[in-house]
Amino acid sequence: MDGAMTSAQQGKCVDTCSTPDDEALRRCQAGDIAGLDALVARHQLAALRIAYLLMQDRSLAEDIVQESFLLAYRHAGQFRSGTPFAPWFHRIVLNAARQHLRAATRRRETSLDLLDPRSPQRLPVVSDPLRHAERAEVRAAVTHVLRLLTHKQREVLVLRYYGGYKDNEIARALGLPAGTVRWRLHAALRAFDRQARSTYPWLLEDGRAPAAILEHSEGAADI
């Protein structure tokens, strides 16, 4: 994955090793908002993109990540110093997303974005309109296919193939046995394959759109 780094690649800090995130969390514990600023600067993009892939709604993703940062700030004391911040924070994001989903179900609210599965939303200004249109088409197609999956399927797909997490890390994040995660991943991959083939067959075939996205790595998340 372009620019993405797995939590394993980041490595675990042992004993006395202190990371900038540790320092930022210590400042959060002391009530110093600069600590939160540092965490937001480093982790907001990856978290927002994970939340977006889970919810397919950018404003909802922003709400979820804001809530998550506030929770991380409030519960900074619960973070285990010396371990990577991103997996811990992504667990919070996952839980916040689930909570939003439950609340939305209870309220029976539907985002207007969700009513139109191919809603283009706001797109960045780019210099190459053709390439821009192509990428927008891919984005809309992937987003639509993701909407056709269950939330549980999206969770494992996003954590594995966007977050770069391993089975056991996903298991820990979701509180599931690793075997269940492997099955869920297997089922999710098949579901994605099936939905993609029935709605956007070109998405999984060698052709213009995938080539375009593979060439492109603008602002890839550093997880």
Partner 1 sequence: MSQENRHETNRDHIEHRLAALLTAAAEQVPADIELRPRLHARLRAASIAAAPAASRPHTLRVRRPVLQQRRTLLAAILVATLVVFSAFALARPLMLSWFGDRSLKAIALQYGTTIDRAATVQGITLRLREGYADAARTVLTMHISASDAAHPPMPWLPDLRLIDAQGRVSHAFTGSQLNSDALFEFLPLPSDTLGSLQSLTLVVGEMQRGSDGPSSGPNLIAGPWQIAFQLKPQAGHVVALSVLPEEHAGVRMQPERVDLTPAGVRLLVRVSGLPPDASLFSLTHFNSRASDIVACPPGEHMCASGGGGVTDGARMQVVGPDGQTLTPAWISVVSPPPSDDVPIAQQSIGPAGAAELQFLFFSPLHAIRGTAHLSFDQMRFAPTGGSESPEQIAPGPWTFDLPLG
| Rounded least distance, CB 29 to partner 1, Å | 5
Tokens of 178: 């690793």
Q: What share of the chain is helix, strand, coil (3-state, %, to 5)?
A: 70, 0, 30
**Window 81-100: residues binding partner 1 (CB under 8 A):** 88, 91-92, 94-96, 99
Provide DSSP, 137-191: HHHHHHHHHHHTS-HHHHHHHIIIIIS---HHHHHHHHT--HHHHHHHHHHHHHH
Q: How far apart are CA 210 and CA 212, in angstroms?
A: 5
Q: Which stretch binds partner 1 (CB under 8 A): 9-17, 73-81, 104-112?
A: 73-81
Among 21, 162, 165, 195, binds partner 1 (CB under 8 A): 162
User: Among 91, 100, 101, which Cα is nearest to 150's?
Assistant: 101
Is 143 among the residues that bind partner 1 (CB under 8 A)? Answer: yes
**Window 164-183: residues binding partner 1 (CB under 8 A):** 167-168, 171-172, 175-180, 182-183
| Rounded least distance, CB 116 to partner 1, Å | 14
**Nearest residue (CB) to partner 1, 10 versus 71:** 71
Among 13, 29, 82, 148, binds partner 1 (CB under 8 A): 29
Is 49 among the residues that bind partner 1 (CB under 8 A)? Answer: yes
